[in-house]
Amino acid sequence: MDRRQRKTREAIFAAFIALLSKKDFSQITVGEIIDKADVGRATFYSHFETKDFLLKELCEELFCHIFDATNNGETEHRHIFTCDAPNSVFLHLFQHLQKNDNNILELLACQNNELFLQYFKNNLQKLVVSQLSLFETRKSGILPDSFWINHIASTFVETVRWWIDNGMKEAPETITEYFYLAV
């Protein structure tokens, strides 16, 4: 993707995030997105087939850099934003939340947060699978893997909710420790 296409895509994402923070997903129109992003309808559709596809792509873009870094062993990466990845992927996620990269906190706090959190949890489950060795000693032998993976991902999501609801007073390192202790 060239720089011009990336800037257009980022403008569409930013417009969509701004609208999601004020309106229900079902009430947002493509017309509103293109007006706010200042792009043409054909341009929008050259990047995204539908508004649903835009939401899916936004969620994937927000989290894929973490998965890419995990899979490739990279310590620095760029998708929508650039960062230096810490050793813990869970700490990495908390750091992005604290920085409020791409207004991610607005997405988590908006009236559409259940939709966003579901995409987040689905991606998180993939991440948990790659990190299962961190939790091996805590798993009871009778638990099916699918239950255990869902439990870890759900615990992370609820830790994020608690952290946001309580003003994010704890440092990312501290909240990561809480998460590890809760699993």
- Verdict on whether the full-model pTM lies above 0.85: no
Which of 46-50, 59-63, 82-86, 95-99: highest mean pLDDT? 46-50
What are 112-120's contacts with CB under 8 Å, separation 24+?
A: 112/20, 112/24, 112/25, 115/25, 115/55, 116/20, 116/55, 116/59, 117/157, 119/55, 119/56, 119/59, 119/60, 120/59, 120/63, 120/157
Higher pLDDT, 38 or 85: 38
Determine the pLDDT at residue 130: 86
pLDDT digits (tens, 9 = 90+) for 96-154: 788 765 566 666 666 666 777 777 788 889 889 988 999 988 898 899 999 999 999 99
Beta bridge partners of 77: 83
pLDDT digits (tens, 9 = 90+) for 28-39: 999 999 999 999
Domain CATH code at residue 9: 1.10.357.10
Determine the pLDDT at residue 77: 47
Determine the pLDDT at residue 68: 59
Q: For residue 120, what are the domain limits?
A: 3-182
Number of domains in the chain: 1
Provide CB contacts within 8 A for 46, sequence distance 6+: none
Instruction: Indicate the pLDDT class of residue 48, thresholds 50, 70 and 90.
Output: very high
